[in-house]
Structure formats: structure tokens, C-alpha cells
């Protein structure tokens, strides 16, 4: 029978403590991320770029809940377009970095960029209409006026002055 030395016992105890610490840390991080995701989803309406559009509308609790659901649906829809848009732009960037960009390879990717951007714009307008349908006539008028103003005071192509 083999006996462990005092040093070996301390080393094994240290390794076990380290493993326990790592496991507890991972559990805490997992819990924290889940908690953070829950908080973020509950605050989606408040953190949305459209927040200012909803301010001063005096929404009822039912309207807030309905708009939060619409926001969630909209965000997931737009995410798909964003991923397609970014993927095509990254491919274009790789072609440009290669030092020998060929238009016959770039143009189909540019069409993907445009299609994704167009899809995102369409989803945004569809979302605005859906939200307006959840509002009373006074809220709807104020909301649509704010949205119309927001799209006329800034250009999504910020590099164009």
C-alpha cells in the first residue's frame, strides 16, 4: 500500500480546491449571464434605439407589453439581415485585402449587401406600422410624426455629407 507524503496530500488538496473554485466561478458566470439576459430582455423597450419614439406617449401597461413583444420580434428579424449584410461586407473586405480585387467577384457580394440593407429597411417600416396599430389615434399621430422626423434628420450612410 502506497502512502502519500504530506507534500503530495497538500498538492492534491490544492488541485481539488482549484477545481472547485473553477466550477463555482463557471456556475456564477452562467447564472450572471442568464440573469443579465433576462434583465436585458425586460429592458429591451428602454434600450431600443426607438426609445425616444415611445417617450411621452403615455403607454398603458398592455401597450408596453405589446410593443415589447413587437420589439423582440423586430430585433430577431433585423438580426438576420444584419448578419447577412456584415458577412457580405467581410467577404468584400477580404477580396480587397487580397490586393487583386475582381469586380466579377465583388458585384454579387455587393448585391447581397444591398438586399440585406433593403430587407432591414422593409422590416423597420413594417415594425413601425405594427407598433402604430397598437396605439390610440393621438399616440399613433405623435409616434408616426416622431418616426418621420427621425428618418429625415439623419442619413444611415453617415459618410455622405
Per-domain residue ranges of the chain: 1-42, 52-152
3.30.930.10, 1.20.120.1490, 1.20.210.10, 3.40.50.720: CATH of 52-152: 1.20.120.1490
pLDDT at 136: 94
pLDDT at 147: 87
Enter the pTM of the model: 0.62
Which of 130, 140, 134, 147 is closest to 73 using CA atoms?
Answer: 130
pLDDT at 48: 53
Confidence check: pLDDT of 46 > 50: no
pLDDT band at 37 (very low <50, low <70, confident <90, very high): very low
pLDDT at 38: 46
- Mean pLDDT over residues 46-52, rounded? 56
The torsion of the CA quartet 112, 117, 119, 124, rounded to 10 degrees, works out to 170
pLDDT, one tens digit per residue, over 108-130 is 999 999 999 999 999 989 999 99
pLDDT at 137: 94
Can you tell me the distance from the alpha carbon of 127 to that of 48, in angstroms, rounded to the nearest whole number?
13
Q: Higher model confidence: residue 67 or residue 45?
A: 67
pLDDT at 66: 93
Amino acid at each position: 500500500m502506497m502512502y502519500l507524503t504530506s507534500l503530495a496530500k497538500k498538492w492534491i488538496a490544492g488541485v481539488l480546491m482549484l477545481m472547485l473554485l473553477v466550477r463555482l466561478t463557471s456556475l456564477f458566470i452562467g447564472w450572471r449571464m442568464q440573469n443579465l439576459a433576462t434583465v436585458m430582455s425586460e429592458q429591451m423597450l428602454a434600450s431600443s434605439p426607438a426609445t425616444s419614439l415611445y417617450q411621452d406617449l403615455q403607454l398603458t401597461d398592455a401597450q408596453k407589453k405589446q410593443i415589447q413583444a413587437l420589439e423582440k420580434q423586430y430585433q430577431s428579424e433585423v438580426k438576420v439581415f444584419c448578419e447577412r449584410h456584415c458577412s457580405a461586407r467581410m467577404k468584400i473586405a477580404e477580396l480587397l485585402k487580397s490586393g487583386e480585387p475582381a469586380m466579377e467577384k465583388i458585384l454579387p457580394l455587393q448585391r447581397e449587401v444591398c438586399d440585406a440593407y433593403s430587407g432591414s429597411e422593409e422590416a423597420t417600416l413594417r415594425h413601425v406600422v405594427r407598433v402604430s396599430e397598437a396605439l390610440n389615434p393621438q399616440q399613433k399621430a405623435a409616434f408616426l410624426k416622431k418616426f418621420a422626423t427621425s428618418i429625415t434628420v439623419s442619413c444611415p450612410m453617415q459618410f455622405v455629407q
